[in-house]
Amino acid sequence: MRGLLTTYAKMQKANQRELTGFSNQQIKGLSMADKDFALTRELLNEVFFYDGERLFWKMPTRGHSVGQVAGSTYSGYCCIKYKNKLYKAHRLIYLMVHGELPEFIDHIDGNPLNNRIDNLRPATKAENGFNRKINSNNTSGHKGVGWDKQAKKWKARCWENKKMHTIGFFDTIEQAADAIKSARIKLHGDYARHQ
């Protein structure tokens, strides 16, 4: 048992040294790799087949057979283990199709499991955040709208350039929702998401 634990500890250290991604998430001793990895468009096209929605293995690997769907869901994303590293499937797909890998890739519809190429677009960190869904703790039912106890009015706010902008205070929730939608379209453009 002691030898097995020592081997496992060495494996974890080796994976940590090889980590090149944005995330230090550990999944059963594997490192999540997202950036500056040695995978190329050519290599990915040798290893995987993309059917427009999912990746399939083209070659047998340990635990996978030819034609098997590649990856499983972790933290809402499809992740694929390849050569002892985990990769988010949408990043591999984008690289396979476009031959480049932007720092951030946005799922246009907000569904991290929808990896159709027409649902993936390059984004900045801020743009990716703009397209985020409404927070689960939102009580108004409208993104960016909340009740201000002091003013006793509905307050509309949104982020832009790392600053929270207050759009205004309104008598009705509908007025606040309309105002924030207009502001979001102006400030966030194509990345504006209202719900």
User: What is the tens place of the pLDDT at every residue in 106-130?
Assistant: 999 889 999 999 999 998 888 877 7
Give the pLDDT band of residue 4 (cuts 50, 70, 90).
very low
Pick the last residue of a domain from 85, 104, 123.
123
Pick the last residue of a domain from 100, 123, 146.
123
Give the pLDDT band of residue 72 (cuts 50, 70, 90).
very high
Pick the last residue of a domain from 123, 151, 182.
123
**How would DSSP label each residue in 3-23?**
HHHHHHHHHHHHHHHH--SS-
- What are the CB-based long-range contacts (under 8 Å, 24+) for 122-125? 122/94, 123/191
129 in a structural domain: no
Asked whether the predicted pLDDT for residue 23 surpasses 80, the reply is no
* Contact between 59 and 46 (Cβ < 8 Å): yes
The average pLDDT across 73-93 equals 92
Instruction: Give the model's pLDDT for residue 132.
Output: 78
In this predicted model, what pLDDT tens digit does every residue of 165-194 receive, in sequence order?
A: 899 999 999 999 899 888 888 877 777 776
Asked whether the predicted pLDDT for residue 150 surpasses 50, the reply is yes
Question: 189: phi > 0 → left, psi -120 to 50 → alpha, else beta; which?
Answer: left
Residues 49, 77 share a domain: yes
Collapsed DSSP state (helix, strand, coil) of residue 154: strand
Using alpha carbons, select from 86, 77, 83, 124 the residue that is nearest to residue 105.
124
Q: Does residue 132 or residue 164 have the better pLDDT?
A: 164
